[in-house]
Structure 1
Amino acid sequence: MTESTSGNLPEQSLLGKVATYKAEYDPSLLFPIPRSGKREEIGVGNTLPFFGVDIWNAYEVSWLNLRGKPQVAIATVTVPADSPNIIESKSFKLYLNSFNQTKLAGSDGLISLLQADLSAAAGAPVHVQLTLSDNFGSLTMTELDGTLLDRLDIEVDSYTPAPELLRANHAEAIVEETLISHLLKSNCLVTGQPDWGSVQIHYVGAQIDQESLLRYLIGFRNHNEFHEQCVERIFVDIMRHCKPQKLSVYARYTRRGGLDINPWRSNFSTGKKPANNRNARQ
């Protein structure tokens, strides 16, 4: 982590503040926030219990070609989970908008700038892929696979995370299953604005009690944390209280400001990261 980003705090960012939109390229707009503080809060040190990525989709990407004609694209940005920093989302939006009146020779030049600037902010190599307008039709929309927890008719009276609710039946045979819920909601750490998401949990181990898991997930409803931090908290809480042999947690959040963030954390390798297919609510 560079000295310039080591002290960045969420409340120092432009979240919830009036901001001037710059229409010409300005990488200084990016605001990195160290991951370490929130990880220490959930008991994660330098040796991470997971690997993974944060998959960002940016739907409002535009620049000018050398003749001044606007170009548009959808950008997919993959940030490794072991990078020192996350990139605050409003700063990311302002940064992307700084290309709006910037002339570039082609999309490759844009990719090079995005990868260099975002990698510098994250503190680790970031991958950028552009889908140009003539290929928009190739993008697909699907839903997360798995058994839907939301079918359960449960009573809920707590809307803050309660990991003590989580339990698994260690007396029975080990199972492998995938569980999903569309009831994940948390709030922005700084502004308190709602963040809506769907979550997919795949595990191998003692069978997790589904009702208790659903109550736990609903418990994020009044919780203030960034998307990446919520997913890591869910991962750590399930590992700590249910002790599966293998676990992955993947969340698809709805977009805000033309951006959606989709964190994935896992402790076992499937050979590839999850598919970046847009869900209906995205």
Structure 2
Amino acid sequence: MAQIIQGFAEIADRYDAAFVDLWGCMHNGLRAFPEAVAAMTAYRERGGKVILVTNAPRPRASVEAQIERLGIPRESWDAIATSGDAGRVALFQGAVGNLIWFMGEERDRVFLEPPRIVQNPVPITEVPLDEAEGIVCCGPFDPFAHPDVNRPGFELAIAKGLRLLCANPDLVVDRGESREWCAGALARLYEEMGGESLYFGKPHAPIYDLARRRLSQIGLMPPDDKIICVGDGILTDIAGAVGEGLDSLMITGGLAAAETRTTPGGQPDQGALDAYLEVERLKPTYAIGFLR
């Protein structure tokens, strides 16, 4: 049974650092959550470090600009680790070849810029699918279209033996009241059809390695029992924390609001939460309706 808490301050003194998800925890894709911002700001004022760990398929500079527009101020966080940065390192080390077919929206093309930390990056050229050596998937071309629309292209790619680099393992996100498909749903379909997908965001190890490097860059290297992961995705945030041996705080009012019977601004129903976690076979250390 996950312990339901009333506010992050209840447990804050137990941890030196928090790996905090963005979408669903700090904002809803349209605007920041003021209580979440206040909670993380207060945590930092008490000496805690906040690393924003996001499956955004873009470099951290792009994410920083985005969250500033949404109303998440600089004083509420210390550093950012993105799946985009983790995936870009692999791309420019040759993980899926030199000639790539790109999937995603126009804003995601910053993924194709080589990261500074890679020495002697391999040259990457965007080409049509029939000329490609690999796929870079930052998301669907249309986030509202069902992943199945990609089956014809995926059949060709699988026949060619292409590997798919998934820059965002999230399956869906909620932008305000609208649910959108993410790259993870496409990567899962690709695997179900017989292809090979490579993942670099939560719940996979590379992004946690990057988050720890971000901590060390600001002068902190806490033991694992002093780090807590905060997120609303049971299969990404919570599964990743479990895999890394880290404590976790599940925000039930995000992706699992219906399953946990979390009302707007309220708390999860204990029975519904327990039933949901039993089905998912994952257990966070703590749970709360919304980060506050």
Q: Which structure features the higher share of helix residues?
A: 2
Q: Which structure features the higher share of strand residues?
A: 1
Give the TM-score category using the shorter length.
under 0.3
What is the TM-score when the length of structure 2 is the normalising length? 0.23
What is the TM-score when the length of structure 1 is the normalising length? 0.24
